Amino acid sequence: MLKAQDIRVVTFDKGMRGYNTEDVDAFLAQVADQVETMEREKAEIEKKLYMLAEKVAEYRKDENNLKAALLNAQRLGENVIQEANQRAAQILREADIKAQAVCEQTTQRLEEEKLELARLQEEVGRFKNNILALYRQHIESLSTLPEPPAPPVQEEPAAPAEEPQADLFAAAGAEA
């Protein structure tokens, strides 16, 4: 490729009418070829630059789309979390209500059972009093009956002196 320094150092032989036209024409042809090549390269570079600019614009658009999608996903996530928290709070409220209802039912059942226990204890007390009253009547009726005659007392033969302890045991057994 031709450089600016090359153009500055080129000299043309002088002929009668000035510079040699063939040398100038050859140099101009060479410069023209170089300029033409540079223009093509410039056009290609501009085309590539345009394509890259389009890509950058597309990437920016994609970036904006991605940002929007990310924001939407973040909002959706926040909404899901908020809905889940609301649902959890609702479930807890319902569970509290059910637990309170169960507690109330249990308390009511306990009170009913206490009343039933008190009723049964009272009934057992009345039953015991009735039984005791019947026993008293029975004892009173037995006490009004005449005493039966005493059975005749039999005398026991005299026991040897060595066996007084046996008599004590026999006497104790008879009294029992």
Position 100 pLDDT exceeds 80: yes
In whole angstroms, give the CA distance from residue 153 to residue 171. 14
With residue 9 as reference, give the H or E element that holds it.
Answer: helix 4-9
d(CA 157, CA 167): 11
Condensed to tens digits (0 to 9), the pLDDT of residues 19-77 reads: 777 777 788 778 878 888 888 898 899 999 999 999 999 888 888 889 899 999 999 99
For residue 28, what are the CA distances in angstroms to 24, 35, 38?
Answer: 6, 10, 15
How many Å apart are CA 68 and CA 61, to the nearest integer? 10
Q: How far apart are CA 108 and CA 128, in angstroms?
A: 30
Two structure tokens written together for 100: 């309170």
pLDDT tens digits along 74-92: 999 999 999 999 999 999 9
Q: Which residues pair with 19 in a beta bridge?
A: 14
Q: How far is CA 3 from CA 7, 31, 34, 38, in A?
A: 7, 10, 9, 12
Token match 């306990």: residue? 110
Spatial distance between the Cα atoms of 107 and 118, rounded to a whole number of angstroms: 16
Strand 14-15 with 18-19, pairing: antiparallel
Q: If you average pLDDT over residues 10-26, what whole number do you get?
A: 73
**All structural domains of the chain with their residue ranges:** 4-143
Q: Which pLDDT band, with edges at 50, 70 and 90, does 172 fall under?
A: very low
Q: Are 7 and 34 in contact (CB under 8 A)?
A: no
Query: E strand or H helix at 18, and its extent?
Result: strand 18-19
Contact 30, 2 (CB under 8 A): yes
